[in-house]
Amino acid sequence: MSSNTEKVFSVNGMTCQSCVKNIERNVGKIDGVKTIKVSLDEKEARVEFDNSKTSEQAVIDKITGLGFQAQAK
């Protein structure tokens, strides 16, 4: 049984659509991530993931590894 969770993360440091695409592409590669939608205007990422395969912390680590600040809202 999969247990999907949708979390919203605040993301600081994005300046353009290239930042958005970079985060979406890389976080989307995490095993267990189903969907990701990043909003430059809202400075947030909405991520749906299977929490039996990945975690909120894994998403935060990936985003911060790309050079942005992220935290769960």
pLDDT digits (tens, 9 = 90+) for 49-73: 999 999 999 999 999 999 999 999 9
What value does the mean pLDDT take over residues 23-50? 98
Name the domain count of the chain. Answer: 1
What value does the mean pLDDT take over residues 38-55? 97
Positive/negative CA dihedral, 17, 19, 22, 24: negative
CATH number of 13's domain: 3.30.70.100
Residue 65 lies in domain? 4-72
In whole angstroms, what is the distance from residue 29 CA to residue 45 CA? 15
What percent of the chain is modeled with pLDDT above 70?
A: 97
- Per the CB < 8 A criterion, the answer to whether 63 and 28 are in contact is no
Provide the pLDDT for residue 2.
65
In whole angstroms, what is the distance from residue 61 CA to residue 23 CA? 12
Question: Which helix (H) or strand (E) segment is 62 a member of?
Answer: helix 56-65
